[in-house]
Amino acid sequence: MMKNILYLGYYIKNLDKEKFRLFFDHVKKTKNISSVALMADILSSSLKYKISILEYFQFRFYDLTKADRKTYAGTGYMYEYQLAMNPKVHREILDNKISFYKKYARFVRHMAFGIEELMSNKELSAKLLTNPSGKIVLKDSVGKCGMQVKVFKTQYFEGKDLVSFMETEKFDLAEEFVTQHPDIMALSPSALNTVRVFTQLNEKDEVEFLGARLRISVNSEVDNMAAGNIAAPIDINTGIIDGPGVYSDITKEDAPVHPVTGVSIVGFQVPFWKEIIHMMKDSALHVKDNRSIGWDIAVTKDGPELIEGNHDWCKLVWQLPVKKGLKNILENHLANHSQHV
């Protein structure tokens, strides 16, 4: 219980207060529940089920029985699970995008250079700024959730030094902008929409799929749910989206069609699905030190490629689109893992 109390303190310290007030008032109004009763349930649920304060709302705990609440994997549980599966000593390869691109180079199609590479070889900047897309993406190599990511047209750098700009703006990674597959572009053109595939190595070092989602931008330069975008469930066998896009914002309705383009989300076929599955199996086995990874895959007209791998993959993207808790899947893997450590 002491650990759960510490978790609660962490949740309170890092709480998005504006979002909390929005969710709190929404549930009070729609469920006709008093502030005292709602707050008591939030705090007791956080302590009992290891969920954050916002996850109480995002998992719709206010509508769930005790039995259903137990099925959800929240922040506290995921921290412990991912620590067991992906030890801190092995995480740098996923935390640092520069290290990631070097180690997983065989699965990456687009150009990506760290600032030190650009400093040592001036020709790389010129090569990057003449790429066919006409855009580059600048990143903080250890940024999270789409933060510290900015897209620029290459013409912006006419008369400017790319490296000097990166130093001034605190970017240390420059990438060629990835032009996504025409079908995905028609669905949502505002950002690169990535496929998130969750893989798990079992005790026999076999790759198991925990699920797949399409992260879909809504008038945003990034596709992260945390930035107000949606995620939709993908049938792992077919690559077809079999449910509406969902927000992490509980005040918004599900989206069976894209809210801007009007293209149907339900029934959408993700291109190159067989190739994605094949690449995921190879990627998961490429470095076995991290056993449970959330992969972000871009799909281009030429096929899929890796964008990043996450050791602390998002429990919301995993569970919200399928509208159910999936903790039992992880509990089985954790039990088997513990027996073989």
3-state secondary structure string across 189-220 = CCCCCCEEEEEEECCCCCEEEEEEEEEECCCC
**Residue-level pLDDT at 338:** 74
Pair 336, 226 in one domain: yes
Pair 171, 203 in one domain: no
Domain membership flag for residue 62:
yes
Domain membership flag for residue 79:
no
Pair 186, 326 in one domain: yes
Q: How many helices (H) and strands (E) does the chain have?
A: 15, 9
**Residue-level pLDDT at 99:** 96
Overall domain count for the chain: 3
**Residue-level pLDDT at 147:** 62
Of 133, 152, 176, which one is at a domain's C-terminal end?
Answer: 176
Domain membership flag for residue 75:
no
Pair 261, 333 in one domain: yes
**Residue-level pLDDT at 146:** 59
Residue 114, SS3 per DSSP: strand
Pair 218, 299 in one domain: yes
Q: 301 is in which domain, residue-wise? A: 90-100+181-340
Domain membership flag for residue 32:
yes
Dist. CA 292–CA 103, nearest whole Å: 17
Inter-residue long-range contacts of 211-214, CB under 8 Å, 24+ positions, other chains counted: 211/236, 211/318, 211/322, 211/326, 212/236, 212/239, 213/317, 213/318, 213/321, 214/241, 214/265, 214/268, 214/270
Integer-rounded Cα Rg, in Å, for the chain is 21
341 residues of the chain, pLDDT tens digit each: 789 999 999 999 999 999 999 999 999 999 999 999 999 999 999 999 999 999 999 999 999 999 999 999 999 999 999 999 999 999 999 999 999 999 999 999 999 999 999 999 989 999 999 999 999 999 999 987 656 789 999 999 998 999 999 999 999 999 999 999 999 999 999 999 999 999 999 999 999 999 999 999 999 988 899 999 999 999 999 999 999 999 999 999 999 999 999 999 999 999 999 999 999 999 999 999 999 999 999 999 999 999 999 999 999 999 999 999 999 999 999 998 876 66
Pair 156, 296 in one domain: no
Pair 148, 164 in one domain: yes
Dist. CA 265–CA 240, nearest whole Å: 9
Domain membership flag for residue 224:
yes
Pair 160, 225 in one domain: no
Domain membership flag for residue 78:
no
